[in-house]
């Protein structure tokens, strides 16, 4: 299957290994991966902060870039970005033409784990990684896109892995986009409850499907000098350690 990769601005600049891993995994399961270098951002930061015109400007660019792709699916290693793409039609609800174009894009946009499991029906991607891990349910992926079992199934098939559920895996990490810097104290208070749960789980790594959550969680673990690693599910699935 031909797949067009939407790597996301965050992964592109701050976490390229997630992008590299995503390509690797998709190729391993037999996809041909296309990357349109004109891509930038899904417009989520502006949309979430209430800047709808600015969001539309960037949204139009997104639509134009991906419209030109003949790929059957647009795949992204981010639940929140996939969810944002699904919100694009609503963003253009006052413009029938753009709304239609947005819908056509949204209809073939998938988050990575959900693409692997629901579309390709593949749970074992030939990964191996030794260690004890837990999964953090990123909010948008969980509640907007119903992604809950897919990543857990994928993780369970990784050779050598020991998977444990932490308390309140589905509670927010406190990132929330600009919320994390508008209300940093509240963001940290929420985050520390997540960190406590991670510590109670006594894991080597926390896995999630959103780089933003991983930045939030990883940033705190790093500040606290913790040995616990954060890993994106793409990195885990690409691993053949």
Subset of residues 19 to 38 that bind another protein, contact rule: CB under 8 A: 19-20, 23, 27, 32-35, 37-38
Binding residue (CB under 8 A) for another protein from 6, 15, 92, 135: 15
Supply angle C-alpha 46, 47, 50, rounded to 5: 85
Q: Which is nearer to another protein, 55 or 161 (CB)?
A: 55
Q: How far is the CB of 224 from another protein (least distance, A)?
A: 9
Asked if 114 touches another protein (CB under 8 A), the answer is no
Neighbour count for residue 58 (Cβ, 10 Å) = 19
Q: Which is nearer to another protein, 161 or 209 (CB)?
A: 209
Asked if 219 touches another protein (CB under 8 A), the answer is yes
Asked if 218 touches another protein (CB under 8 A), the answer is yes
Per-residue tokens: 106 = 């949204």
Instruction: State the sign of the Cα–Cα–Cα–Cα dihedral 164, 166, 171, 172.
Output: negative
Q: Which is nearer to another protein, 43 or 113 (CB)?
A: 43
Pick out residues in 31-70 that bind another protein (CB under 8 A). Answer: 32-35, 37-41, 43, 45-55, 57-58, 60-61, 65
Asked if 107 touches another protein (CB under 8 A), the answer is no
Q: Which stretch binds another protein (CB under 8 A): 128-136, 155-163, 166-174, 202-210?
A: 166-174
Per-residue tokens: 151 = 């990543």
Binding residue (CB under 8 A) for another protein from 3, 11, 133, 198: 11
Q: Which is nearer to another protein, 162 or 170 (CB)?
A: 170
Asked if 1 touches another protein (CB under 8 A), the answer is no
Query: CA 53, CA 160: separation in Å to the nearest integer?
Result: 48
Q: Which is nearer to another protein, 32 or 162 (CB)?
A: 32
Distances (CA, A) of 198 to 35, 42, 166, 236: 35, 30, 6, 18
User: How large is the C-alpha radius of gyration of the chain?
Assistant: 17
Asked if 152 touches another protein (CB under 8 A), the answer is no
Name the phi and psi angles at 144, rounded to 5.
-90, -35
CB-CB contact of 19 with 5 (8 Å) = yes
Pick out residues in 191-210 that bind another protein (CB under 8 A). Answer: 191, 193
* Helix or strand holding residue 2 (H, E): strand 2-5
Cβ-proximal residues to 149 (8 Å cutoff; 6+ apart), any chain: 117
């Amino acid at each position: 299957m031909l797949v067009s990769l939407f790597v996301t601005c965050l992964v592109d600049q701050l976490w390229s290994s997630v992008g590299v891993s995503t390509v690797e995994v998709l190729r391993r399961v037999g996809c041909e991966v296309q990357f349109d270098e004109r891509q930038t951002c899904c417009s989520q930061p502006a949309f979430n902060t209430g800047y709808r015109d600015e969001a539309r400007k960037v949204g139009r660019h997104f639509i134009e870039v991906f419209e030109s792709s003949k790929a059957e699916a647009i795949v992204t290693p981010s639940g929140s970005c996939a969810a944002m793409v699904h919100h694009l039609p609503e963003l253009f609800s006052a413009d029938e033409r753009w709304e239609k174009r947005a819908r056509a894009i949204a209809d073939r946009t998938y988050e990575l784990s959900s693409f692997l499991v629901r579309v390709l029906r593949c749970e074992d991607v030939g990964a191996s990684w030794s260690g004890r891990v837990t999964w953090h349910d990123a909010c948008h992926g969980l509640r907007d896109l119903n992604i809950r079992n897919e990543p857990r199934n994928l993780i369970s098939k990784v050779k050598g892995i020991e998977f444990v559920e932490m308390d309140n895996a589905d509670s927010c990490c406190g990132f929330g986009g600009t919320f994390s810097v508008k209300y940093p104290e509240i963001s940290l208070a929420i985050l520390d409850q997540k960190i406590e749960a991670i510590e109670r789980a006594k894991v080597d790594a926390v896995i999630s499907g959103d780089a933003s959550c991983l930045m939030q969680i990883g940033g705190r673990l790093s500040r606290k000098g913790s040995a616990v690693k954060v890993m994106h599910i793409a990195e885990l699935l690409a691993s053949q350690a």
